Structure 1
């Protein structure tokens, strides 16, 4: 018998306690702290300075509108960044409230049907708020990405200009007025 065979065949090495001791370090995965997705954090997004870019003239505008200026883009970008920060905080607090509601989802001993229905309504309402805030956060982040890519203001349907005035009022807009009207008629 070889030396490796003797060491594995010894009673001490084949005892259940020895097997558990060998497996215990490998069986324990590294403990990760329970954290939420990026929506759980609410750090302030650092403001970028908009440098005068030559591609500002290439951002589409509707007929009769003046071209975008660096100050206008900086203002829209600043508003979007502030909105992203606010929405991240909203999503984090709504996630917390939703988690509390889900923990208390069971029916209590003294709850009647009205109490249970009220809890269900409150939970569904909170879920709706969280989903709306997440959708707006995604739209705002996409608008910031379009600004960075130089495609801000291009209609995603027809490729024409969304409209400078429309984007200054609703900076997350991705469709021009005509395409949005067509979409709403469907």
Structure 2
């Protein structure tokens, strides 16, 4: 069980005023105990903290990428190896920024699902995702079975 600070608890109450009521709507799989307010608060706190961290990191990464792009034409005497190294560095930074944006989007989507009372429901099957899956990966939108089906179709 994670300790939630007073400030985080206040942020949760402000961000999710109906959480105490909505948590009763979060479905569970057969054999699972119903969601408790505490469990929902812990996941909400984790997601809110991740959102803040990702926004900070994204700002810094965007600035670094801007600097890399701005300085990419400055090396008049650069040889091909330097140019290739710079291009690789820009590509890696761009990939990092895009991955961070995706993770932030997933985090915001999970927070929206908590707000709407649809958290813990599979977006494909409308069945429970499962508490253990959400506690391991709070951004999950699909049950294990739906995710496996989706991956088999994509393979």
TM class by shorter chain equals: 0.7 to 0.9
Matches within 5 A, 1:125-144: 125-144=92-111
Matched with 1:95 is 62
Q: Which runs of 5+ in 1 are unaligned?
A: 1-43
Distance in 2 (CA, whole Å) between partners of 1:113 and 1:93 is 28
The aligned counterpart of 2:87 is 120
Structure of higher RCO (CA pairs closer than 8 Å, 6+ residues apart): 2
TM-score normalised by the chain length of structure 1: 0.72
SS of 2:87's equivalent?
helix
More helix by share: 2
Q: Which has the larger radius of gyration?
A: 1
Is the CA contact 1:107–1:116 (under 8 Å) kept in the aligned structure 2? no
Counterpart in the other structure of 2:72: 105
With structure 2 as the length reference, what TM-score do the two structures score?
0.86
Secondary structure, aligned partner of 2:40: helix
CA distance in structure 2 between the aligned counterparts of 1:181 and 1:70, rounded to whole angstroms? 29
Deviation by residue 1:27-70 (Cα, 9 ceiling, x = unmatched) = xxxxxxxxxxxxxxxxx987222666333222111111111010
How many residue pairs match? The answer is: 143
Distance in 2 between residues matched to 1:175 and 1:139, nearest whole Å: 12
**2:120–2:134: 8 Å Cα contact kept in structure 1?**
yes
Asked if 1:153 corresponds to 2:153, the answer is: no
